[in-house]
Structure 1
Amino acid sequence: MALWSNMMLAISGIFIGSCLSESPSKVRLVGGAHRCEGRVEVERDGMWGTVCDDGWDKKDAAVVCRELNCGAPKQTPRGASYKPPAPEEQSVLIQGVACSGMEDTLSQCSHDEDVFNCPHEEDAGVLCENIGVPSIPENVRLVDGLERCQGRVEVLHQGQWSSVCKAGWNLQASKVVCRQLGCGRALRTHRCCDKMTQGKGPIWTGRMSCSGQEANLKKCPLSALENNCTHNEDTWMECEDPFELRLVGGDNPCSGRLEVLHKGTWGSVCDDSWGEKEDQVVCKQLGCGKSLLPSSRARKSYGPGVGRIWLDDVNCSGEEQSLETCRHRLWGYHDCTHKEDVAVICSEQYPGL
């Protein structure tokens, strides 16, 4: 009887022990051109590991493609062919996978979790028939431009930086990127211009349907891009410096000649069409209270400026929170001299008081 009890405890211990370590519960494809191609990885206890390709075939690949909503399997390429390769310290979690091809998830297939003699050179890979819905980009950056707020668009997904196809991009998406990067307004978006500035890695195949008001790309609706893009269609975009203005030459930050920042250079504003409503918007934007004197009288106190004249024919309703939203000519277009520079005197001496 004692022997029987000990055997039952031992058996119970085996089952209890097997429940303490979670079975792998899959799945993602890493290193491919899109989320439906790449090296197969499964998750166990919060860690991602690879799958040994011993016995791996299209039935197994079919389950992976189904689980990821990627259509039918096309190929079972070597997982080691996808770059960057799996790091040496990453575990190979399962081998000997044997699916019927009808399972909904890879975890439902027969497999062996006691992996032996299976290096990363034998990692399993999958290429599915369609790209499905691409993964949401984790981050975004602009590269190869002359400055931080200009360059080829790259998004980070599945741990890789990938170029973005122009067919899935528009000015609204560029506006979101400029806002997300703290780069002001979007100026334009177009295809990448030459071989030197084209990407050389994977191409992200998402289509962004942004309104332009989102705080970041994660908030934009996302769909699959049907085009087979090449690096000739990489997206290039430019942002403008954040709209800034200042009053210079006065006794305090709330009085002086008005200057605005454009393309990294401060320049004057012409007083054609300028009036009290425009004065009030400037004082409001700077947190300087209300306008005290008409610009024509204030100008005499500070004299003409030098350098660029950026804005002319500015027309505000007075309700705007920023001079940026008032109507005006294109930047740099004017028929003025510095004798017509706008100056403003506000009621407060220091912003916010």
Structure 2
Amino acid sequence: MISTQRDVCLDMDRHLLLLLLLWSSGVQADEDHPDSAVIARLVGGASRCAGALEILYEGQWKPAWVFPSNPKTSDIICEHLDCGSAVSARNKGTNSSTLFIGGACVQGLNRLNSFCAVPYVRSTTTLDITCSGVPHRSTEFVRLVGGASRCEGTLELNYLSEWRPVKDYRWDREAAAAVCKHLDCGSAVSVGSRKHSVTSITSLPSVWRISGDCFSGSALRHCIRKGISTSVLHVTCSDSVRLLNGSSLCSGRLQVKSNQSWSSVCEADFDRQDAEVVCRELGCGPPSVLQGALYGEVEAPVWNKEFQCGGHESALLNCRSSGSARSSCSPGKAVGLTCLDSLAQPIIILTSMDGVSEAQQQGFQVSKGSSFTVSCSIQPQYPGGSFHLTFTSSDTKNNYTQPAVNHSANFPFPAAEPAQQGNYSCVYQVHVSSHKLSSESHLLSVTVSASPQTGGRWADGV
């Protein structure tokens, strides 16, 4: 037995450097191989959740050996197979050569990946695992923390018994709506990023990387990854109102939450001013359609008082209500509401013929006398509209207006002067159904230098 262990250790020498590189670059490697999840299985046991570990490698099933093996590594493998947690794990002999998988690589990524596997022809050892067979189905795997209520804050996920914030990677309100629904909150109001202040590379917060479309699916364990980031996801859900069965996040049958229960609202107890408050509370544009049974009939329980909003309130439950209670609601009279979709944020970009350089503190630089153009654009939502370019400096404020053509507009400046040094922003305005909607871009800071700058050809303020 001693000589066999010694031979195994000697045989590992040629692979040691490669394995160390794999282990130490686990998170970095995951960034470069987003689709590298592989199929694994356990064979020869009493069920699919017990037996010798095999990996599908280059189109063939191969026995696999994990070294060093420990309870966390085995738990990750069981989790990958949707088999709960590991009950036992042991090394077992096999008649064929095995794949060598660095256990530290698996732990670093919290999943199995093809680049963790190394063909190891002299080993005849495989890992035999018995999993509990009970998939993890904890309802408490997502939460919002640090906000004014449990329906607002930094999004955190609990994966493999570890809570971490989520990086803001390809998330939108549609994806955030899945989070709000899981938490039994109202509709998704907003989704954005928050920055962590860090003093050194070692103080970067650990995060889970997962795209929004994966969260709303069923394969969470296959696309979640470890990482570090200064930018994390912030989600705001409504505390007490939601729209169901609509064609967008800003349409549907209205429900109100009180005493931990969602209630339908009767059409007779709701008017245009009430609708103004709901649409604003949900981060949508003004109401365009208010009609009973537009998105389904009333369902019990039913809100039993009339809302009496003035139209200026920040939330529906902040409105006054009638003193008398309504005992019934006619069939088909549930409030159906369509709000205009809120405008996306415009994008502002600066281009210059002689190049633009980006400075982290001073902003973007153009050389004196050179031409530059500020471009405004927005994703297509409504036809027409106009862009207003706002310029502000310590002693000046100017506005320039251009019609939106193909959802964009250009503002050329033929010769940069010191007086054009300051902050620029794009404001998009459009009239929809007698309502005026507007949205403003991020600020773009511009400095004018005395000499030509070298650098890239464009810069943006998003």
Return the TM-score normalized by structure 2: 0.32
In proportion to residue count, which structure has more helix? 1
Q: Which has the higher strand share?
A: 2
Q: Which has the larger radius of gyration?
A: 1
